[in-house]
């Protein structure tokens, strides 16, 4: 029985991807590297020692109780200030306090700017607590913190980052592999071979697209698997919505890649531009740094980046941060429509017209 052109193309494109070790690595395993790095480096990783606050006390109200009651730190007693400082030097602790009843002296490692950024808050809250404890005073504002969930689960910072890495994985498969593969086919003349075949342009792009979808799905499963099983990520996965996210986002990212190929004649230039865009999107799409913390001129730019919207869809699908279903459908539709339109245009451009020189 003869295979349809679509099936033949899907098989061919997929086999080619699978046999290209570099492509397999960058699409499937490279995102896992980021999962391991950022999953482990995040302070909420298990066994990360940041939550210890070392202390030495010579006099005054009991600081250990105050530290314990803060809820944010676990106290660790040291016998003298030098032992406390040594522990900080060795990296056992990031922060320590020595209290003589009058002055709370805080120790931190020179150059540890992450701790330094939190130091003010720790100082103020701890000394305020000590003052309250010592003076038995009633503060004007009695502050309590309440964590809320924006989704179905009480997500951690690491869950947000892992969701962002999933979005990056989809971006990579969609954008980069389209640019490299399409560019490669165009340059090598393989597209010309297809041009002279009795093949409808849309059949080609659909076959090509479907093979990308399969890769995207495998990448997604791998990252999810490692996140949930290896890093105990707390996702509440809505599989149908995740599937829609994957399909629409992959289409959207492919659209971006094809746009680059249409704009830049040279596949190598398109590849470099795609790499630059990936870099910009990594940093400005709110995955590793919150958009609120960006300078004003960067915030405006981040609203234009498709990765930002892919991240929103992924977080919704994983139950981390829900959005109204109408918004979900609108975003997905926009990405999908954009993708389909570009694919149609690319099909006509690459498989119908003559030389692009």
Minimum Å gap between C-beta 256 and another protein is 19
Window 133-172: residues binding another protein (CB under 8 A): 134-135, 137-150, 154-160
Rounded CA gap, 18 and 126, in Å?
56
Query: Counting contacts by CB under 8 A, is residue 323 touching another protein?
Result: yes
| Residues within window 217-246 making contact with another protein, judged by CB under 8 A | none
Q: CB–CB of 317/245 below 8 Å?
A: yes
Q: Which of 7, 12, 15, 49 binds another protein (CB under 8 A)?
A: 49
| The length of the chain, given as a count of residues | 357
Q: For residues 112 and 349, which CB has a smaller minimum distance to another protein in the complex?
A: 112
Asked if 98 and 67 touch (Cβ cutoff 8 Å), the reply is no
Does 50 bind another protein (CB under 8 A)? Our answer is yes
* CA atoms of 176 and 274, how far apart (whole Å): 7
- List the one residue out of 175, 176, 161, 153 whose CA is nearest residue 36: 161
**In this structure, are strands 74-77 and 95-99 parallel, antiparallel, or unpaired?**
unpaired
Pick the binder of another protein from 1, 19, 21, 357 (CB under 8 A): 21
Site membership for another protein, residue 295 (CB under 8 A) = yes
Copy the structure tokens of residue 176: 């980069």
Closest among 254, 260, 308 to 280, alpha carbons compared: 308
How near is the Cβ of 351 to another protein at its closest, in Å? 26
Distance CA(222)–CA(227), nearest Å, equals 8
Q: How far apart are CB 4 and another protein at their closest, in Å? A: 32
* Per CB under 8 A, 289 contacts another protein: yes
Q: Which is nearer to another protein, 33 or 221 (CB)?
A: 33
> Is 272 one of the binding residues for another protein (CB under 8 A)?
yes
By C-beta, is 109 or 349 nearer to another protein? 109
Question: Other CB atoms closer than 10 Å to residue 265's CB: what's the count?
Answer: 11
Considering only residues 91 through 120, tell me which ones interact with another protein, judged by CB under 8 A. Answer: 91, 94, 102-120
Determine the size of the site formed for another protein (CB under 8 A).
100
């Amino acid at each position: 029985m003869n295979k349809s052109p679509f099936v033949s193309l899907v098989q061919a494109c997929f086999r080619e991807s699978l046999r290209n070790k570099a492509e397999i690595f960058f699409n499937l395993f490279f995102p896992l590297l980021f999962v391991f790095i950022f999953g482990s480096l995040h302070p909420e990783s298990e066994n990360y020692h940041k939550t210890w606050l070392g202390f030495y006390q010579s006099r005054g109200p009991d600081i250990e109780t105050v530290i314990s009651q803060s809820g944010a730190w676990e106290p660790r007693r040291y016998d003298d200030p030098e032992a406390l400082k040594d522990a900080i030097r060795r990296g056992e602790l990031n922060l320590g306090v020595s209290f003589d009843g009058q002055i709370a002296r805080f120790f931190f490692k020179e150059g540890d700017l992450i701790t330094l950024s939190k130091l003010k808050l720790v100082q103020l809250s701890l000394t305020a607590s000590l003052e309250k404890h010592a003076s038995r005073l009633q503060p004007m504002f009695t502050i309590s913190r309440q964590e809320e969930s924006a989704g179905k689960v009480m997500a951690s910072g690491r869950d947000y980052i892992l969701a962002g890495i999933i979005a990056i994985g989809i971006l990579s498969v969609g954008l980069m592999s389209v640019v490299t593969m399409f560019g490669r086919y165009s340059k090598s003349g393989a597209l010309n071979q297809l041009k002279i075949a009795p093949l409808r342009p849309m059949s080609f792009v659909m076959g090509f697209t479907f093979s990308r979808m399969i890769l995207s799905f495998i990448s997604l499963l791998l990252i999810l698997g490692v996140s949930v099983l290896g890093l105990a990520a707390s996702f509440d996965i809505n599989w149908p919505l995740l599937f829609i996210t994957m399909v629409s986002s992959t289409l959207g990212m492919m659209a971006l890649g094809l746009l680059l190929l249409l704009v830049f004649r040279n596949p190598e230039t398109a590849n470099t531009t795609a790499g630059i865009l990936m870099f910009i999107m990594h940093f400005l799409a709110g995955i590793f740094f919150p958009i609120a913390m960006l300078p004003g001129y960067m915030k405006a730019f981040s609203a234009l980046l498709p990765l930002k919207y892919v991240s929103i869809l992924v977080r919704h699908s994983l139950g981390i941060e829900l959005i109204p279903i109408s918004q979900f459908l609108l975003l997905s539709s926009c990405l999908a429509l954009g993708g389909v339109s570009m694919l149609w245009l690319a099909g006509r451009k690459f498989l119908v017209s003559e030389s692009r020189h």
